[in-house]
């Protein structure tokens, strides 16, 4: 498997780039956000890659950060999400945004991404929520989103109790403090609501 490529950037044609490594040009599909981070043509570049091999073709997917690749690999583990859709998701939302959507249980924001319906958005939230804490070292901002998972969980619980989403989010924001678990946030939010 090819895990990293270092060479000269010889072509940029969304959604792929071509990297010349020792006279061999490797076509690598990348999220749209990567294009802004790439050097000029003819300059050296390094991409972390994931190689996918199927019966009739081989495809390289490239990323500038280990966290992006880790998130891509987590998306591939979700039923119904293939490499093309995972790449589309990462093209439509940064890793930090995606982590925040998952931590907050924000299916509505996920459905705004191309190719993501309500069921797929809910599946992404369910499957990735517990895995966010495995990514913080590699993806800036994901650690915070994972820590905020208690906030998302508390908000979801309040919605399940019949509160409207905006009201549940407001209650949680007012009740939450750093380091609180979901149960404590819910208890405090309900106590605050009882006082008013």
151 near 172, Cβ under 8 Å? yes
Which runs of consecutive H residues, i.e. helices, occur in the chain? Answer: 32-35, 66-76, 83-92, 95-104, 107-111, 118-129, 142-147, 149-160, 165-175, 182-195
Q: Please, what is the Cα angle at 145 between 139 and 151, to 5 degrees?
A: 170
Res 134: pLDDT: 61
- In this structure, are residues 62 and 34 in contact, taking their beta carbons and an 8 Å threshold? yes
> What are the pLDDT digits (tens) for 13-57?
989 999 999 999 999 999 998 888 899 999 999 999 999 998 999
pTM beyond 0.85: the answer is: no
* Closest by Cα among 9, 79, 4 to 49: 4
pLDDT digits over 143-161, tens only?
444 445 677 788 778 888 8
Residue 145's pLDDT is what? 43
| Residue 141: pLDDT over 60 | no
CB 159 within 8 Å of CB 106? no
**60 neighbors 28 (Cβ within 8 angstroms):** yes
- All residues at 6 or more sequence positions from 33 whose CB lies less than 8 Å from its CB, including other chains: 90, 91, 94
| Of 5, 25, 1, residue with least CA distance to 13 | 25
Tell whether the model's pLDDT for residue 179 goes beyond 90. Answer: no
Residue-level pLDDT at 175:
84
Q: How far apart are the first and last CA of the chain?
A: 60
* Local structure of residue 134 (DSSP, 8 states): G
Lowest mean pLDDT among 73-77, 92-96, 107-111, 142-146: 142-146
Q: What is the pLDDT of residue 136?
A: 43
Q: Degrees (nearest 5) of the Cα angle 100, 72, 10?
A: 120
Q: Distance between CA atoms of 134 and 115, rounded to whole angstroms?
A: 26
Domains in the chain, CATH or no CATH each: 4-64 (2.40.50.140), 67-147 (1.10.150.20), 148-196 (1.10.8.10)
* Residues 113-131: tens digit of each pLDDT: 999 999 999 999 998 887 7
**Averaged pLDDT, 66-89:** 92
- Is the per-residue pLDDT at 6 higher than 50? yes
Given this model, what pLDDT does residue 149 score? 66
Across 73-93, average pLDDT: 93
Residue 82 has a pLDDT of 94
Whether 157 contacts 175, CB under 8 Å: no
Q: Tell me what pLDDT residue 143 has.
A: 44
Q: What is the mean pLDDT of residues 70-94?
A: 92
180 or 137: whose pLDDT is higher?
A: 180
């Amino acid at each position: 498997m090819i895990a990293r490529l270092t060479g000269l950037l010889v072509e940029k044609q969304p959604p792929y780039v071509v990297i010349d490594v020792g006279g061999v040009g490797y076509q690598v599909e990348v999220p749209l956000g990567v294009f802004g981070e790439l050097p000029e043509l003819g300059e050296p570049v390094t991409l972390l890659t994931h190689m996918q091999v199927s019966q009739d073709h081989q495809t390289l997917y490239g990323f500038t950060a280990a966290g992006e690749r880790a998130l891509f690999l987590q998306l591939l583990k979700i039923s119904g999400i293939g490499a093309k859709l995972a790449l589309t998701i990462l093209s439509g939302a940064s890793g930090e945004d995606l982590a925040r959507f998952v931590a907050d249980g924000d299916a509505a924001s996920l459905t705004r991404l191309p190719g993501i319906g309500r069921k797929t958005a809910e599946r992404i939230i369910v499957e990735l929520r517990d895995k966010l804490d495995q990514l913080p070292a590699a993806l800036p901002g994901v650690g915070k989103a994972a820590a905020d998972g208690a906030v998302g969980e508390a908000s979801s619980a309040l919605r399940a109790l019949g509160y409207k989403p905006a009201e549940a989010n407001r209650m949680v924001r007012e009740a939450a403090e750093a380091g609180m678990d979901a149960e404590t946030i819910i208890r405090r939010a309900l106590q605050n609501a009882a006082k008013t």
